Structure formats: structure tokens, C-alpha cells
Structure 1
Amino acid sequence: MNSQDLLGALLDAAKRAGAEQADALLVRSASLAVQRRLGAIEQLERSEGVDLGLRVFVGQRVAIVSATEARPEGFAALAERAVAMARIVPEDRFAQILDAPAPSMAALDLDDGKAPDADALLARAALAEEAALAVTGVTNSEGASAGWSRGTRSLATSRGFFGEYGRGSHSVSATALAGKGTGMQRDYDYASAVYLSELEDAVAIGRRAGEQAVARLNPTRPKSAVLPVIYHPRVSASLLGHLVGAINGASIARGTSFLKDAMGTQILPRGMNVWDDPLRPRGPRSRPFDGEGQAAQRRALVEDGMLTTWLLDSRSAAQLGLASTGHAARGTGGPPSPSPTNLWLEAGRVSPAALMADIKLGLYVTELIGMGVNGLTGDYSRGAAGFMIRDGQLAEPVGEITIAGKLPEMFQALTAADDLEFKRGTDAPTLRVDGMTLAGA
């Protein structure tokens, strides 16, 4: 049976079992991954899977069941179990299944049709690791990996919606060690892409991992100070992650976000825009519809520094008296919840070098450790490593430090460089935040 017929049969079984409404999600996946260290194969893993989820409504009571096979002969028992569960759980007056139009299958171009074999992946990993080991000062390797995956998501609802899309991905990574004994330092680099032809060169990935590890040798611990902090693009996207976490509709509905009263106010400097675009061709999180069948659309979450929208699924939207923004994400074993897609902060107009040129004493952060962020108050405190900035230039490596601030104030103090690259799904250019507290020696 094709996916539409299969899910249709499951929804029919749910109706026969007593469900008034239902939706069903089918996820098929396949992947191949290799890990290589010092010339030897450490891991070679092939996986294929099928996951099936059924959500049923009996009045305002809702239950979800899941299975790891999609066999029609088991649908009656699966549906009966779901309905029996729904009849005994508390009511949820906000949960619902929305009407949804037939999806517009935009030209998202999410699969290049290529499935490399293990030998090709091992060769890619070998290129990355050997490039890392060739860097002067690199003394060891934690390995290099390469992978490929492909998945298909199919959603059907009792209101007549059916949609399906697939996505492929290729990846490569390397982790290098420099120095000896207790003075060793490690660093990494990685890349992924929907199209193999757009995957960054494995040699460049390995070389960069090695160079970054060597650059971190002999770190010092600077004195505590209040100073400007520059976030490398590898870590600057984390600030964007904190922002979208604070405008997540579920947090807003609970009143547990420091931005709960910020709609329509300026939360970033004038001229800054934050975009979420599920329709970006070859995007790592692109999709034609969300986890509830709502049509995907590009949105400015922040425009000219002003907060314009929350991220909403149907439940959080109902709690707030609003409409879904098409940001529902879900797996087969849980209910939908709001989540961004291809998210980015627009680039600024100055180079990273110009961004730090006037800094007499500052910090350039390349790694963040821990998750010391309070979503209710906006208090921010994270372990960090990187380099001091002295007279506008990168200086000695530093480690064992903490950087702290308040996210609302940090967001207002942002300055963006012009080096935005789309690499990770959540992307930001180099960012500067003035007035942060560095806790060191």
C-alpha cells in the first residue's frame, strides 16, 4: 500500500474504534554512517526504519500511540488502544485538528537522489582526517565521520488532508587534537548539505579542525572584566536559538518567557531582521507543510528590530486566541509543538575585522559550554573558550571562563557582521555584544 492508502486505513480503524477525529504520521528513514580514526574503521552503521503515530480525539480527550511497523493487520488493535487511553485522560480544550488545504508542493528540491556507498563515505572521512593530521602541531585525532540519510514524512487527518515530502542529507566532520599530556586541546569542524555537490570539501573541514585545535594551545585564564564579546558564527546562532525559544507560543501561553509582553516592541536594534523560511530550496529544515498540515510560509519574526509574531501551533494559538503560524513540529510519539524551520539573522554591513577593530580589550568566543540560560528572567551565563581581543586583533587563547549578561539587554546591544553563511539550519553572522561580564581569574 502507498502511504496515503496506509494512513487512510489507519484513520478508518480509529473511526471504527470510536475516535471522533484523528490524524496519523508515517516516517520512513534510511541512513548510512561511517566513523574512521587513525586509518581504522571504528563504526559502520546502516539503518532503515518505519515509525507510525496515531493521535485520536474522543470529545476533548486526546491520546497518542506509536508503532515501529506499519502493518494494516495491526491497525485495529492500535486504534482501539489509542481510543481506550483517550477515554480516561483529562480533557484538553485547546487540542484540535485544523482544516488544511491540499499542500502546495513547492519546488523545494530536497533530495539529490544520490545514495553513496560505504566506500565513498570512508573515502570522504579519510580525506577529512588526513587533512587534520597534516596540520603542524596536531598530535592525534578523535576521528572523522561521513554520512548520508534520506527520510519521508507522510501526514493524514480525518478532515481530509494528506501530504508527503522527503529529504536527503550528506555530511562530513573531523575532530583533531593538538599538544601533549594535560596541555592537549581539541577542536572540530563539520558540514552538511541536502545536495552532495554543495557539501563543503572534506579536506577543508579537516584542515580547519586541525588549525583550530592548534590555535587553542596554551590557553590562559584572563582576569574578570566587563567588555565587548564577539561571537564566532559557530556559536552566534545560539543567541538566535535563545530568542526563538523566548517567542515559542507554548512558553508565551504559560507566561514563562521573558519576552511574553514584547509583541510589537523593539527587541533588537533598528535595521535587524530575523527570518524563518520553510520554503527555502535545499534548506536543511524545509517543508511544504507543518506537523498539522498547515501551509508553510516565509515569515519575518523580527522586522527592523520589532517583534512581529510568536511561533504558534494550533494548541498554543488557541490558548492565546490567535491563529497557527504553521510552526507545528511533531514526531510519531508526541503531540505537535511550535518549532522554527530554516532560521537566520540577516547579515550586517561590516566585516568581522571591522566589527572588532575599535576594541581595546575584548573576547572572541569560539566555543560555549553548558546551558545556563533562564527562559523566565533572561539571565544568561555560559562557560566559554576562545581568544582575547587586544587593540582590535585576536590575541592569546583563553579558557575556563564564563560570560554573563541579560538576554533582553544583550539583544539590544547586538551588532552583526557581513559573513552570514547558510550551514546549520539556524544561522547567524559574527555578532558583537557590548557590556558583557567575563568571569575569569
Structure 2
Amino acid sequence: MNIPDSTRAQAQDLLDFIDASPSPWHAVATAEQRLQAAGFSRLVETERWAIAPGGKHYVVRGGSSIIAFIVGSDSPAEAGLTMIGAHTDSPGLRIKPKPAEENAGMIRLGVEVYGGPILASFADRDLSLAGRVNVRTANGFATRLLRFDTPLLRLPNLAIHMNREVNESGLKFNKQTELPLLLGVADGSKAEERFRAPIAAALDVAPDDLLTWELAAYDTQKGTFWGVHREFLADSQLDNLASCHAALSALLAVPAPRQTALVALFDHEEVGSESAVGAGGSFVGDVLARLANAQGLDAEDQRRQLANSFFISADMAHGWHPNFPAAYEPCHRALVNAGPVIKSNANQRYSTGAESAARFMAICERAGVPCQQYAHRTDLGCGSTIGPIVAARLGIPAVDVGNPMWAMHSIRESAGVLDHGYMIAAMTEAFHG
């Protein structure tokens, strides 16, 4: 398999992006660093905005969602916007507000299941903590990012001698009693003290100054290539940081678009998007309204702008697994390394319609990129995305697309190297208009 050096470099950059982003807050911080390096300036929601044609800006809400855009050169009402959306969160285990408990001399951390992870994949992994912590200051509190690079936690399997049916019945964990993560031996210390001590040391504050936190357990193993030709990649959070990376890469590759080009990366997709920072909130609508206002659009032209716009919802897709052919719709097998997937569902779990699908096909054709179509088995429940949510709130045509992958919602997912390059090329072409 021939993989161009430029495509290999894009895939390596994706792995670097993911490895720098073990939580939604880190993902936004990583995106912000890249945007600033490309000359984007930050806008703050509490301040007035000054925006001009060609301006490159971004806005952060809640630390875990970010919208970046380049103001187009053409009339906004006539040209509309091209928007690409993805999400920064991934399913997993989140640390509870008061997590530490001692049990027979061992300290465990209580966790809450976030979204729909494959829980068995978290067993026997080198886990650590990442997220954000609010610490006491003289003026109230300050929010600090936190990441431990070395493994702190583990979810050890029960030996097969005590779970003889594991290979026949599957590995299952009771979410309340069997998922708490092992932190260490109590060794005479109180559980709460043992939990707070390393966090306080990492942030250089007193343990009592740790007020609240949003922390996730993450896998410290870095991303890698695999396969005879290193044609596949494996990492955590490919769903959906791969789409975030592709969208940002495309935006940075189009310095002067005719249409305004916008990328919106939302938190909380995996739990329904209904939050102030989620796609179901007002974030993208607020940004679009303020952008239109700064461009001098009246109410009529604002609606004309939206009517002339197009939204691409980018979320990873189910790649065909040769070991489980019965899990797929027979004529909709999305092959890994065969191009972006257009996802359709008659019940509007995806935003794709026949017209928007054809539009994305044309984009791929112009970009010289193959594309595929996917529909879920009729007798299986279909997942959803931010696509229908944003399309409904803004009233604009939309399409749901994504790259095929294996082991979606596992702590270690896999996808194709070629596909990532294909998606960046298609998104870049979409921004070119």
C-alpha cells in the first residue's frame, strides 16, 4: 500500500494532537495553541467584538468547547458560511467529587461512567488522571489544567481462576462496586489525603486549596501506527479528536476563503449535547449572531446568510469488521482506508439528506477523494451526532460524515492512515467553496 509522506505526516500530527489532549479541556488548549500560532486572535464573550473581512478569530466557552473562523471576502448574505462541527469529548470514566475510599488497606477512587465506553477495555491499562481543577486563590478561585504523564491508577482484572466463565460470558463490571480504580496502599494515610497530595503537588498548592475538579481516567500509552505497511493507527479518543484535528487542519489550510469558514468543536456530545457548551446550547448560534452583527447584517440578511450556508457534521463511522460481518447492513460496508463515509438514517439520527449527501460527494470528487455510504442495520439502534441538533437549531442543510474505524468507544481505537488524509482534503475543498 502506497502512503504518501504528506499523508503519513498528517496522521503523525493527529497522534501528536491526541496525545497532547487527554481531556476535552486539553483538546481545546491544544487547538488554541495551533490557532494562535497561525495568527488567530481570541475573542471573549463578555467583550465587544471587532471583526473585519479576512479576520481570523476563535472563541472558547467553558474551557471545553471552541469555535474558530475566518471571515470570508464575499458578501456574507450572498455567500453564506461553510461550517464543520465535531466534538471534543470521548466516553470514559470520570472521577467523582469525593472519590477516595479505603478498603482493606487499599485506596480506591470512585468513578462515574461518562457516555457509553466499552468498559472492559479499561481493564489492565496504564491509567492516569487528566482534566481541570479549581484551586483557591486570594480572589476566589482559578482553574488549572492537570495531567499526570505517568500511570497512577489501574483497573486490574479478576483472575480467571475466580471468573471461569469470562471467556464465554464476557468481561463485565458492576459500575458501582467493581469499577473504582486502584490508587495505592493506604499505608496509614487517610484516603482523601492520598488522593489530594499528588494533585496539590503537581499544581504547587496546598491540598486544602483544591476546591473542585473535573478529572478523567485516561490511557497513558501513546498513539502508534500498525500493520505490515503501517497503514493503520491506534490511539485513544480517535472518536472524535480525529475529526477535530481534520477540521482544524482544513481551516488552517485555507487562509483566505470566499465564504466565511467556521469550525465548531463541542463538548458533551457523548452525553446528549444539552449543555451550555454542547451543540444543543446557544454557543454556535451566539457566535453566528455576533459575527453577523459585526458585519452589519440586518435580520433579513442574517437569514439569507444561513439559507446560503452548509454544515458538515464530522464524527467517526463504523468500519466494516471482517470478524463480525453479521453486525453490518449488507450493502453498506464502510472499509477502512477507502475514504470518508456519508452516514444516513431515515429517522434523522444523522442529518444527511439525499441533497446534502450529493453535495458532499461532489466535494470529495473535486478533492480527488473516494467516499463511501453507511447505514446501520435496521434491527440495531443507531447512534446520533451533533448534526441533527445544529441543523435543527440553525435551519441549514447538513450532512453527517466520518472516517471508518474499529473498536469505537474502546480505550484503544483504530482507524486508517489514508482516511485521515482523505478527510482533511475533503474538508479543505469544502472551505474553498
Q: Which has the higher strand share?
A: 1
State the TM bucket, normalised to the shorter chain. under 0.3
More helix by share: 2
Higher RCO, 1 vs 2 (CA within 8 Å, ≥6 residues apart) = 2
TM-score (norm 2): 0.24
Indicate the structure (1 or 2) with the bigger Cα radius of gyration: 1
